[in-house]
Structure 1
């Protein structure tokens, strides 16, 4: 696989170099992103693999939740996205579990010390309050610290326009399974002050979470409700000094079943998130300085058990232009996390991480770019751990880029893995990972054909795995994958986007004095394919359709008595076909939309023994005044 990909990358680079050099840089390469280097930079100037979901796509995703939007992205599978709406969601990013993905809100990591593995619950993030999403792939611990092993998802929330003193917006939709979705907000501002306040309400009776295989169905439906508030301010106190306080509240509640193929009439959960903080940015002649603070409080009750986690992060970083082609980023962050549990072996355990980091950026040395950085993680329980990144890229011409990444990452065991209610093990060791990737990105034939091809290889030492009701360290996890993303701009109104992703992996452990390796990427397809066609039929009418296929996956179940050993069970491949349409009225201020999912009523399981939604539709109206 490695040799084939290297040959493919070299061939594409050669072909691209001889392609016509259009004066218009491809949209994706010319797009300004912030997540790759912590400050705004054109995508063409970084060799990191980044995907942007903009406001237009989000407007057309009103009928979805965040998990359903993310699972359509290349290299990303969100398990549970098409199951019962209230079911827990697990991100598999390039084959890695949720524990290896960092969720950012406006560049600041979210944390839930009470979550299994430290993963954050996607259900607490409403899609309606999002302005933009940047997905950064690969190991990113140098800039974003512990857990950034597979990648980073930066969710940028809505804020008011500086060109309007006040603007009202909202949407209302109804759909299958007695679903109601409503969102309302107001934002606006000028050069000195911007503001936004938004409210979201989502409720559905849902479907039975567990799969009912009886001839006469008797499992009850497991309902779900989500409510949220998002407040952002952005004010210029003095020239070049901006202060951005924020507040977010989200609450979810619902019912869940007893397990695979087993119903429950009484199981329920209730989770609340409070996030508050501020960002301060000061710009000067040759750079800028940013300081930010955030407090997260997650309070969750599930099945009668209470889980609560608190987290704080304080960070300061500065960018300085040493030369017109050389920039330096210097930063320091402090993270404090606490699991509030007086029944744990260690009552109310707490950890602190101090992390200085440094990054150098060389810009456009005859088309050559380089970012190199390092970070020292000082963990109160696990001591010092060093991570690094090395990211060269080269623009062969304005429309063709080749790149490589070499990076390490660090993940400390979460407080829940160490001291939590299920499977805790205070003897766990931190995980250390090493990732390398190569790729090419190009726009050909006057930007008609756009493509990106990436191969990645990841190795995690002392990987933490849940075995026999306990978290343990195994020797090593090895994963590799390939991502191909062609896009065809047939006309200015007709676009076709395709993707193919492949991922394979195995874990190595020592048994009876010998190393044993086996495939362990459960619930993740080796092969995934997707296609989206979007067509602006008229100035006011837009239609699109998308289809994606997940290959055969495997899940775990218990074998027969007396030992009940875990065994792999195949889950059949499936294809989902969706369609969307919208029509704009009154100078685009009113938008009528319909989102039809699973048109063929495909029958499949994302998780063994749990149901998925059949053909369903959401339709409504969105208004901007």
Structure 2
């Protein structure tokens, strides 16, 4: 994992329609106007393709576990429901993008993204922005943004194939093949991969009546992209991506051997861009579409006669126009850039879940339009300033968000100081506005958006030592935010209202050591205090302490060892399921115990094109429960090979 700084509001807000090219030492989230990392007043983590492979990160949930400031809570193994709490914010406060296109499912009742389904075979890098980003991306970005950037074609290779094949314990099989290339004015990507595993029992061993029934996964995905550059400074490309997962599910405190779920997504986009005025102005237009289909089926079994089928369908169409303009310098100002654009979307949700008389249903749709603009300049070649704003109009409400930032470069002592502040908002979901449960509950069309106001202060110091200029890097960031108008049930539990408030503060501490060219280590410690601002009680699933230790060692040329140690402290739970001696379940507010998980991946580069690898997971056999009643998968080993020509 590589902690870096995110492109400023001026860069990120301006061009979600632009194509993306991975450029060293920059972040290019949703724009072709890359910004040097040291100029950016925000926290980001970039996980590169090399790290994805060296650490054996097959799924998005695995990858995000090593991100500072982020707590991932998954109810079991791959394919199971996984939520993210970014800097103490709610699980619905993180926006997920694929090449700049929003992936959050409109039919999800709370508007939260399920991080348990995405695989990474076609992903070149993951960029995680921490902190309010609504001035960049609008709704659902109070906590931050996760952007998946797909693989890109090399400009000098007509055919560049890649692939992998691996198998291991729990009857796990992982396979994939793909290729990129550039032929004349055309470039392309095609990719297909699959993952199947018998898995582990997701319910905790402490449940005495467990059947030890395993919850497996069968998943597949495919991506195709074709790009065309008809003239110099102009490009058009289209992308189609499909992903489908089928997994076994459980309901604590009992196993549920006949409970399964299927999650399918289609996504497509067509985008074009042109460079004008000798390269000073880049303009881009994109049309994108996502379609999510989910169903969950529960059949009678020896533990329960209950049966039912739940179905969800969400669709979103997005039209973006984005621009980036290079500004002239004058006086003490240099390296200026302005960005601006307009976004329009239409989303629909249809769902039918549960059984009468408590059947949940939604059939609703809404439109939204937003305009955004930002500017940045460098002052006296050492102070970077940025400012950006956005106005969203969604359904019956409007919201305006902003962000200001500054980075002070202090080269005399190898230090960078940064400060940023901004606002954010979460739009009410379609279920929250228009959903119904039988005749006892109706959504509230008049809900206001949840709103936040926060800031962060950070510093990063490079320390030379032992003959190395980059021997150590120390980092510290303090963040604080306040969220108002949170959506919750009213006193009669028959509708939803804006009633709650949250107060969040914390710190992200980081240390990277590079004692030798063949060895590097990183430590990240996140401290979070997230509370209900009315009662003062800690918010569920926000542990006070999360520590991640990672290392990369190459003791022999071509041999890479990548261990990861994850520690998660105690975290409160709203309901804690357990069994008493009589075998009946009970629920009461308690806290999940702390847990430690150790992973290790070893890879050996046999030839410049072929690498063998072994991935060991949960080597200590931890039975930690990241979500109450659901424990982490047990020990596993996967052995395989990958190639890239």
User: Hey, what's the Cα distance between the residues in 2 that align with 1:342 and 1:544?
Assistant: 45
1:506 maps to: 531
The CA deviation at 1:565 is: 11
CA contact (8 A) 1:140 1:148 kept: yes
> Is residue 133 from structure 1 mapped to residue 152 from structure 2 by the alignment?
no
CA contact (8 A) 1:36 1:48 kept: no
The CA deviation at 1:29 is: 13
Q: Match for 1:289 among 274, 283, 294?
A: 283
SS of match in other structure, 2:483:
strand
Listed as ranges, the matches of 1:354-433 within 5 Å are 354-382=369-397, 384-397=398-411, 399-420=414-435, 425-426=443-444, 427-433=446-452
CA contact (8 A) 1:161 1:190 kept: no
2:301 maps to: none
CA contact (8 A) 1:527 1:550 kept: yes
1:96 maps to: 89
2:304 maps to: none
User: Hey, what's the Cα distance between the residues in 2 that align with 1:613 and 1:295?
Assistant: 35
User: Relative to 1, partners in 2 of residues 1:250 and 1:466: Cα closer, same or farther, differing over 3 Å?
Assistant: farther
2:481 maps to: 458
Q: Match for 1:439 among 458, 469, 480?
A: 458
> Is residue 524 from structure 1 mapped to residue 545 from structure 2 by the alignment?
no
CA contact (8 A) 1:351 1:381 kept: no
1:545 maps to: 563
In structure 1, runs of 5+ residues without a counterpart are 1-27, 510-515
> Is residue 576 from structure 1 mapped to residue 594 from structure 2 by the alignment?
no
Q: How many residues align?
A: 584
CA contact (8 A) 2:105 2:292 kept: yes
User: Hey, what's the Cα distance between the residues in 2 that align with 1:571 and 1:444?
Assistant: 38
2:628 maps to: 608
User: Hey, what's the Cα distance between the residues in 1 that align with 2:423 and 2:203?
Assistant: 39
SS of match in other structure, 1:294:
strand
1:448 maps to: 471
1:199 maps to: 192
The CA deviation at 1:172 is: 1.0
2:508 maps to: 483
User: Relative to 1, partners in 2 of residues 1:347 and 1:545: Cα closer, same or farther, differing over 3 Å?
Assistant: closer
The CA deviation at 1:472 is: 4.0
The CA deviation at 1:474 is: 2.4
1:3 maps to: none
1:328 maps to: 338
CA contact (8 A) 2:390 2:400 kept: yes
- Which shows bigger deviation, 191-200 or 478-487? 191-200
CA contact (8 A) 2:56 2:601 kept: no
CA contact (8 A) 2:41 2:420 kept: yes
CA contact (8 A) 1:124 1:273 kept: no
Listed as ranges, the matches of 1:239-258 within 5 Å are 239-257=232-250
2:347 maps to: 337
1:593 maps to: 613
User: Hey, what's the Cα distance between the residues in 1 that align with 2:432 and 2:166?
Assistant: 40
SS of match in other structure, 2:470:
coil
User: Hey, what's the Cα distance between the residues in 2 that align with 1:308 and 1:112?
Assistant: 8
CA contact (8 A) 2:59 2:117 kept: no
The CA deviation at 1:589 is: 0.9
> Is residue 87 from structure 1 mapped to residue 80 from structure 2 by the alignment?
yes
1:177 maps to: 170
TM-score, normalisation: structure 1 = 0.88
User: Hey, what's the Cα distance between the residues in 2 that align with 1:214 and 1:133?
Assistant: 37
SS of match in other structure, 1:165:
coil
2:365 maps to: 350
Residues 166-192 of structure 1 deviation map (CA, whole Å, 9 limit, x = unaligned): 022111111222111111111111573
- Which shows bigger deviation, 466-475 or 327-336? 466-475
Listed as ranges, the matches of 1:190-229 within 5 Å are 190=183, 192-213=185-206, 218-229=211-222
> Is residue 263 from structure 1 mapped to residue 255 from structure 2 by the alignment?
yes
Q: Match for 1:156 among 149, 157, 172?
A: 149
CA contact (8 A) 2:74 2:116 kept: no
The CA deviation at 1:552 is: 1.0
TM-score, normalisation: structure 2 = 0.86
> What CA RMSD, in Å, does the superposition of the two structures yield over aligned residues?
2.5
2:35 maps to: 41
User: Relative to 1, partners in 2 of residues 1:205 and 1:215: Cα closer, same or farther, differing over 3 Å?
Assistant: same
SS of match in other structure, 1:451:
strand
SS of match in other structure, 1:58:
helix
The CA deviation at 1:394 is: 1.0
User: Relative to 1, partners in 2 of residues 1:99 and 1:347: Cα closer, same or farther, differing over 3 Å?
Assistant: closer
Q: Match for 1:234 among 227, 231, 238?
A: 227
User: Hey, what's the Cα distance between the residues in 2 that align with 1:151 and 1:347?
Assistant: 28
CA contact (8 A) 1:36 1:46 kept: no
The CA deviation at 1:365 is: 3.0
SS of match in other structure, 2:50:
helix
The CA deviation at 1:39 is: 2.7
The CA deviation at 1:291 is: 1.4
User: Hey, what's the Cα distance between the residues in 2 that align with 1:413 and 1:229?
Assistant: 32
User: Relative to 1, partners in 2 of residues 1:613 and 1:352: Cα closer, same or farther, differing over 3 Å?
Assistant: same
2:5 maps to: none
Residues 102-144 of structure 1 deviation map (CA, whole Å, 9 limit, x = unaligned): 1111122223111132122334421111101111111111111
User: Relative to 1, partners in 2 of residues 1:215 and 1:46: Cα closer, same or farther, differing over 3 Å?
Assistant: closer
SS of match in other structure, 1:173:
strand
CA contact (8 A) 2:524 2:548 kept: yes
CA contact (8 A) 1:62 1:128 kept: no
User: Hey, what's the Cα distance between the residues in 2 that align with 1:38 and 1:64?
Assistant: 27
User: Hey, what's the Cα distance between the residues in 1 that align with 2:570 and 2:513?
Assistant: 28
The CA deviation at 1:311 is: 0.4
1:58 maps to: 52
